[in-house]
Structure 1
Amino acid sequence: MDISGTIPSQNDVDQILELVKTVDKAQRDEDADAFLALFRQDALWVTGHGKRLYGRDTIAEFTRRVLPGATASGYATYTPDHLLFVRPDIAVVNVNQTYHQHDGTATSQGSPVYFLAKDNDTWQIAAAQNTVVVPED
């Protein structure tokens, strides 16, 4: 993983990497509460299909509707690709998202970007875009 900008501390890097691991685990476990705990109250989320969700309450309504059963035909993995510290309390992390069938076969890709804000020593998602990667012909 590449890291750029002024890095506040290794602890900040570790916390952000742990946040991405929590996204991965929450999605695989279909754990809406663990996923939603990562968001600021005023967060913005744009789904892979372009649906704009404003505020954690709206994100929660959507997540609680779509996450249960989401792993019936497969699961996704999330691997940090690039981390940019814009300033000590603002970071952007690009993630490689790979969708797999239950036998482990990769089927498609996503490229989420999370805009993170640090409040009281805790990193949370302030805004995110979950983008589907369309294979080139």
Structure 2
Amino acid sequence: MDRQAEITAIEHVVAALEHAQREELVEEFVSLFREDAIWTTGAGKLLVGRGAIAAFTKQVLPGAMRDLIPSYEVVHVLFIREDVAAVKVRQRHFSLTGEPVTELGEGTPMYVMSKEDGQWRLTANQNTAVAVEA
């Protein structure tokens, strides 16, 4: 296995996720998940299956990025097996002028991805806010 090539492929999936969020493309966003994927939102709502993820995303994504530019950066990849990886991501939001939107805070999602028919897919995912120290 060429680990760097696999990491690059995983980074492309995360970039596609960022693009779908930025452009509010619900179908593109949902297509990145396995059919039986699970997703826990930043607010702790559990979504099971691509249908539930699509229904939720159709409610929250349109209009959500009107004044925001999301940024997703892969910070660590742990290969559990050659076809399964835990992917840690740094999630930030910027204004249309490029300034950080600090009131939204940062996210630190964990994506467990699996390689299906040569394509990395989001499989078991937890979107978590970074705790703000008092």
Q: TM-score, normalised by structure 2?
A: 0.92
What does residue range 27-66 of structure 1 map to in structure 2 within 5 Å? 27-66=21-60
Specify the alignment match of 1:135 in structure 2.
132
SS in structure 2 of the partner of residue 133 of structure 1: coil
Root-mean-square deviation (CA), in Å? 1.1
Mapped pair 1:102 → 2:102: no
**Correspondence for 1:81:** 75
Per-residue CA deviation, residues 89-119 of structure 1 (Å, 9 max, x unaligned), is 1001100001222222211200011000111
Q: Which has the higher strand share?
A: 1
Matched AA of 1:70: A
- Segment of structure 1 superposing worse, 55-64 or 70-79: 70-79
Q: Give the Cα–Cα distance (whole angstroms) in 2 for the partners of residues 27 and 58 of structure 1.
A: 17
- CA distance in 2: counterparts of 1:109 and 1:49, whole angstroms: 13
Q: Which runs of 5+ in 2 are unaligned?
A: none
Q: CA deviation at 1:34?
A: 1.1
Residue 9 of structure 2 corresponds to residue 15 of structure 1:
yes
**Local SS of the residue matching 1:41:** strand
What is the match of residue 90 of structure 1? 84
**What letter is aligned with 2:48?**
Y
In structure 1, C-alpha distance between the alignment counterparts of 2:63 and 2:69, rounded to whole Å: 10
Instruction: Supply the distance in 2 between the matched residues of 1:133 and 1:103 (Cα, whole angstroms).
Output: 24
Percent sequence identity over aligned pairs: 41
Could you tell me which residue of structure 2 aligns to residue 4 of structure 1?
Answer: none
Listed as ranges, the gaps of 5+ residues in structure 1 are 1-7
Question: Which secondary structure does the structure 1 equivalent of 2:106 belong to?
Answer: strand
